[in-house]
């Protein structure tokens, strides 16, 4: 391991970057150095632009992947190497604005009717019923379920933050039935090894199978259940700030995306035209004087 790589790892650890982010950033910087065959310390801003162009044209990488690479290089140069550059040397690629796919409540019911396996069903119901990310759901411990207060403790979620999620009566009932049947001791959704939790990939596979068996032709992911959770709360009149807290979003801008995917909210919004007390009078064109 090079000294520069060690310094980068130590910086990310000191800032509590998640292990997944650390591995991702290490990978991008290593690929960048391998492409030029030189240490990043010997490269300049032109090399960064050349590499980004290579990712976009030759590698056909998505804007999300390219932006993640840019974030890794920005951290390396500005925080670790501490070169006197500014943010303008790390322009991000513009992404296409796409609205997430959101299931209707009827589709969610049909989806759960086709989930294979008791554990998969309980885990996916937790993702929808509490709005959890897939990584948060699979890592839940038995002790994270606070049935007395109706809460789920999410330990070290995205951004290394703890928070509480809602535990509805129906979800609690489903989790109790699952617990009585399987008796997990540590992780709520254990892997075949009792000391490890189930993988996110296995839950994603169960989600795809359920969507296919339910006849849902759209691409449904576990994260789509989280989108559905937020959208359905919004449609029922829940305040956006409460939804922000439940989802664990740091910025309100992230939460307000769900207002764009709710046609019921759009349809139920009263136009200012309909709020007018009197009908609008149109001005008639002037008639020529009679002769």
**Annotated catalytic residue within 163, 226, 227, 232:** 226
- Token pair of 96 as six digits: 């296409």
Task: Determine the Cα–Cα distance for residues 200 and 223; give it in Å rounded to an integer.
Answer: 11
In the annotation, is 133 catalytic?
yes
* All domains in the chain, ordered by first residue: 3-89 (1.10.150.130), 105-268 (1.10.443.10)
Give whole-number Cα distances, 124 to 46, 106, 127, in Å: 46, 16, 5
Give the confidence band of 284 by pLDDT, cuts at 50, 70, 90. low
Active site includes 158?
yes
The pLDDT tens digits of the residues spanning 256-272 come to 776 665 666 666 666 66
State the catalytic residue, choosing from 74, 208, 213, 249.
249
User: 27-36, 59-68, 132-141, 210-219: lowest mean pLDDT where?
Assistant: 210-219
Mean pLDDT for 249-259 is 74
Q: Which two tokens stand for residue 175?
A: 């989790």
What is the rounded distance in angstroms from the CA atom of residue 247 to the CA atom of residue 261? 16
Among candidate residues 158, 208, 213, 257, the one labeled active-site is: 158
Residue 220 falls in which region: left (phi positive, over 0), alpha (psi -120 to 50) or beta: beta
Q: Where is average pLDDT lowest: 50-54, 99-103, 157-161?
A: 157-161
Whether the pLDDT of residue 104 is over 90: the answer is no
Per cent of the chain over pLDDT 90 is 53
Which has more confidence, 158 or 91?
Answer: 91
User: Does residue 249 have an active-site annotation?
Assistant: yes
pLDDT tens figures, 198-227:
999 999 999 999 999 999 877 888 988 988
Q: Which one of 133, 197, 227, 232 is the catalytic residue?
A: 133
Q: Is 94 a catalytic residue?
A: no
258 has catalytic annotation: yes
- pLDDT at residue 285 in the model: 57
Q: What is the pLDDT of residues 142-195, one digit of tens each?
A: 999 999 999 999 986 565 678 888 898 999 999 999 999 999 999 999 998 878
Q: Which of 114, 141, 223, 257 is catalytic?
A: 223
Residue 118 has pLDDT above 90, yes or no: yes
Return the structure tokens found at 17. 């970057």
Task: Name the pTM for this structure.
Answer: 0.65
The band of 35, judged by pLDDT with boundaries at 50, 70 and 90, is very high
Q: Give how far Cα 68 sits from Cα of 62, 174, 205, 223, Å.
A: 10, 38, 25, 19
| Residues across the chain | 291
Average pLDDT, the chain: 86
Measure the CA–CA gap between 28 and 22, rounded to whole angstroms: 10
């Amino acid at each position: 391991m090079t000294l520069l790589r060690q310094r980068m790892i130590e910086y990310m650890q000191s800032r509590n970057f998640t292990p997944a982010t650390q591995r991702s950033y290490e990978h991008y910087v290593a690929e960048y150095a391998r492409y030029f065959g030189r240490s990043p310390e010997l490269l300049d801003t032109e090399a960064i632009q050349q590499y980004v162009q290579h990712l976009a044209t030759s590698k056909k990488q998505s804007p999300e992947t390219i932006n993640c690479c840019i974030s890794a290089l920005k951290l390396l140069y500005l925080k670790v190497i501490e070169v006197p550059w500014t943010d303008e040397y790390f322009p991000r690629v513009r992404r296409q604005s796409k609205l997430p796919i959101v299931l209707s409540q009827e589709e969610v019911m049909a989806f759960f009717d086709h989930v294979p396996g008791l554990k998969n069903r309980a885990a996916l119901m937790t993702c929808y019923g509490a709005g959890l990310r897939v990584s948060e759901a699979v890592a839940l411990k038995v002790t994270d379920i606070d049935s007395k207060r109706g809460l789920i403790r999410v330990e070290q979620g995205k951004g290394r933050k703890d928070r509480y999620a809602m535990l509805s009566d129906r979800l609690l009932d489903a989790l109790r039935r699952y617990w009585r049947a399987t008796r997990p001791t540590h992780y709520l959704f254990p892997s075949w090894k009792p000391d490890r939790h189930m993988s996110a990939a296995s839950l994603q596979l169960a989600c795809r199978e359920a969507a296919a068996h339910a006849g849902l032709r759209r691409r449904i992911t576990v994260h789509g259940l989280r989108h559905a959770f937020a959208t359905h709360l919004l449609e029922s009149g829940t305040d956006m700030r409460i939804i922000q807290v439940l989802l664990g979003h740091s910025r309100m801008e992230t939460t307000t995306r769900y207002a764009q995917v709710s046609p019921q909210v759009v349809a139920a919004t009263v136009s200012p035209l309909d709020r007018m007390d009197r009908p609008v009078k149109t001005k008639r064109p002037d008639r020529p004087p009679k002769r």
